[in-house]
Chain A
Amino acid sequence: MAESDGMKNQVRALRLDKGLAQGELAQALGVSRQTINSIEKDRYTPSLPLALALARYFGVTVEEMFG
């Protein structure tokens, strides 16, 4: 995936709502903590499977999370 094109995502807000640390979310999704950090800072756009996994994990749509 290419770098973010300026979209603001809700990953950090949703994670904090659940009271999760980046490492805990990373472990739940099977990626590194640095990857979660990069997604939250819009430095990395996740692949479609990872974006879907994130959306399912938080019970929201991909559009709600990344739109």
Chain B
Amino acid sequence: MTGENGGRVCTGSKWLTPAMCVGFGGVVLLAGWLGGQLVTGLIGLVIMACFGLVIAVSGRSETIRGLRGDARDERFAQIDLRATAATGLVLIVVLVVAFLVEIARGHSGNPYTWLGAIAGLTYALSVAVLRWRG
């Protein structure tokens, strides 16, 4: 967030995010293997590895560096915060619409009911904690 690092550029390793992509791809592969869907797991690993490779070898674009996590400063922290909020908003809208569609089709609304409840509780709890922390 703003000022947490004194406005300074955070120069973390440019390989951290690509490595996390490959690591998550490995988890997808493991889950697919455990579930008897090895091909799906392999596809997941390839997609995540390709994404990691692209952001690792891409140039000095600020967007790519932001996605990669290196060279972030206070302005990019704000961009990251807004992008995260926009992502959360889109997900919540999709959840609510999916819940309503499921209800209208005569179904229970699950799993959207629980996901929506988790989102709402997380937001309320976050507001309370952040307000308390000042």
Contact = CB atoms under 8 A, between A and B. Distances in A.
Interface of A: 1, 29-32, 34-35, 38, 44, 46-50, 53
B2 A35 contact: no
A31 B3 contact: no
A32 B73 contact: yes
Interface residues on B, range: 10 to 19
Contact of B6 (A35, A38, A44, A49): A49
A65 to B, nearest CB: 15
Contacts of B6: 30, 49
A58 to B, nearest CB: 16
Given A1-B78, A30-B8, A35 B73 contact: yes
B3 A47 contact: yes
A36 B73 CA distance: 11
Given A1-B78, A38-B75, A47-B74, A31 B2 contact: no
A31 B9 contact: yes
Contacts of A32: 9, 62, 71, 73, 75-76
B7 interface: yes
A47 B8 contact: no
In the complex, the 3 A-B pairs of residues with the closest C-beta atoms, listed nearest first: A50-B7, A30-B8, A31-B73
B8 A31 contact: yes
A25 B71 CA distance: 16
A44 B75 contact: yes
A38 B73 CA distance: 13
Contact of B7 (A31, A34, A38): A31
Interface string B65-105: 00000010111101000000000000000000000000000
